[in-house]
Chains A and B, each alone.
Chain A
């Protein structure tokens, strides 16, 4: 099942990477073509919204972010010069806008809150193996702060390379690696704790 999902996503990633009318779309936006904005949203709206939602964790806030992003894209489309993928450029704007939006409202999840999350999980006997796996991953992702969630989203859903992630998040390559490493440690820690709960 996991393999199928990955294969399906790979096909989708390849399809998205095929040359499309991104350059034309940017030129049309620069020229003030309103239908180009609708086309952009039809093409990339879901991915932009998913990333905004992943960063903000709030549906209404994610809507505001995407709306701001569209306004920004409309005003700055001339800056896109075809260097790199259009989606990476768009996600960079989403990242910047979302980070500005959550800067003052973000609450980092502490270890104490993490323990609460772990203790609130359903008893293992009520969960199938598949559900249990999904549950700990969900807990693990929720325990990460928006910076780390962002990197995971960009790797697994948006299909970006390490260099593209660095550009989107405006961080050095080393920081991308360290965020992935931190996410791995955190997820492994929760997985181990979860396994210990099952054995108890």
Chain B
């Protein structure tokens, strides 16, 4: 049961037609019994009408948006571009799946703990590129972006959105990798830190951009399967699959393949072109169609 004061507080909203049907019923029952509220209701209705009437006579100046745009354009183009990019990055940060942030940090933390306990720094080398590939493959598309349809209907090009998300997630992955490498200082000498970082940074860049490209074309599942397969293939041991003496051609190929993952400059260069392909693919009409059908 509401008090008279509560009804009195609700009265202007009732007079303005802003009450729910339940509130309206309660209000009407009270007004029928309360002379004071009847008088006040008349007053509020008169106020409502006066405000409406005075606003009806307002003529809105039509040139305000044009003047505002002139002011906006007058601001320095470089500053405006930086501000717009910053706004896009901030807006896209909220649209990336929120689970990706804590999950990838947790996996890397477990990786560092395992590496420290087992005294094997290779765990971080193995894990960083895999984690980055997984997160990059979950950046875009209807499965991972609740606002996908909305995003596609806006004037912002899909490649710009993809670039923004890729930049945000890549920075995060790099940061996690660096923190994980610092964690290895418990088991390695500080002068080894540079070598460790150079060890994973190339594979991380290449695998994550490849995962992005594959996810744009064929979805997350295929992107993860292919990138993980390529990454782990360097550890194929012929002995373990029962082949004692592989042919020299295969043996040479595997040696070259393993060396490939230890060429940071080559891997970063390749990552750049693969990322460009991914960004270009995001604008293809056929991919836009297939992703909205999924």
- A contacts, CB < 8 Å to B: 1-2, 5-7, 9-10, 13, 23-24, 27-28, 30-34, 36-38, 40-41, 45-46, 49-50, 53, 63, 66-67, 70-71, 74-75, 77-78, 81, 133-134, 137-138, 140-141, 152-153, 155-157, 159-162, 177, 180-181, 184, 187-188, 191
Contacts and interface: CB of A to CB of B under 8 A. Distances in A.
Given A24-B153, A157-B51, A13 B65 contact: no
B16 A155 contact: yes
Contact of A13 (B18, B71, B153): B18
A100 to B, nearest CB: 17
A63 to B, nearest CB: 6
A37 B84 contact: no
The 4 closest A-B pairs by CB, nearest first: A70-B68, A10-B17, A31-B156, A137-B50
Contacts of A1: 49
A76 B65 CA distance: 16
B94 A74 contact: no
Contact of A9 (B9, B52, B84, B151): B52
B155 interface: yes
B13 interface: yes
Contacts of A157: 51-52, 55
Contacts of B252: none
B49 A5 contact: yes
B45 interface: yes
A32 B86 CA distance: 12
30 contacts: A9-B17, A9-B48, A9-B52, A27-B150, A32-B84, A32-B155, A38-B65, A41-B65, A45-B64, A46-B60, A49-B60, A49-B61, A50-B58, A70-B65, A71-B68, A71-B72, A78-B88, A81-B94, A134-B53, A141-B47, A152-B12, A155-B16, A156-B15, A156-B16, A156-B47, A156-B48, A184-B12, A184-B43, A187-B47, A188-B43
Interface string B55-79: 1001011001101110110000000
Interface of B: 8-9, 12-13, 15-18, 40, 43, 45-55, 58, 60-61, 64-65, 67-69, 71-72, 83-84, 87-88, 90-91, 94, 150-151, 153-156, 160
Q: Taking chain A's interface residues, is the majority helix, strand, or loop, or is none over half, making it mixed?
A: helix
B9 A180 contact: yes
A24 B17 CA distance: 29
Contact of A2 (B46, B71, B83, B150): B46
Contacts of A177: 9
Nearest to A13: B17
Nearest to B68: A70
B64 A27 contact: no
B64 A70 contact: yes
Contact of B52 (A40, A156, A160): A156
A30 B87 contact: yes
Given A156-B51, A157-B51, A6 B155 contact: no
A15 B188 CA distance: 67
A143 to B, nearest CB: 13
B15 A6 contact: yes
Nearest to A32: B84
A28 B53 CA distance: 34
Given A78-B90, A157-B51, A191 B43 contact: yes
B94 to A, nearest CB: 7
B65 A28 contact: no
Given A49-B58, A191-B43, A159 B16 contact: yes
Given A67-B68, A157-B51, 13 more contacts: A6-B45, A7-B17, A13-B17, A46-B55, A66-B64, A67-B71, A70-B64, A78-B88, A134-B46, A137-B47, A152-B12, A155-B12, A184-B43
Contacts of B55: 46, 50, 157
Contacts of B47: 137, 140-141, 152, 156, 187
B150 A24 contact: yes
A28 B154 contact: yes
Contact of B12 (A6, A34, A180): A180
A23 B147 CA distance: 10
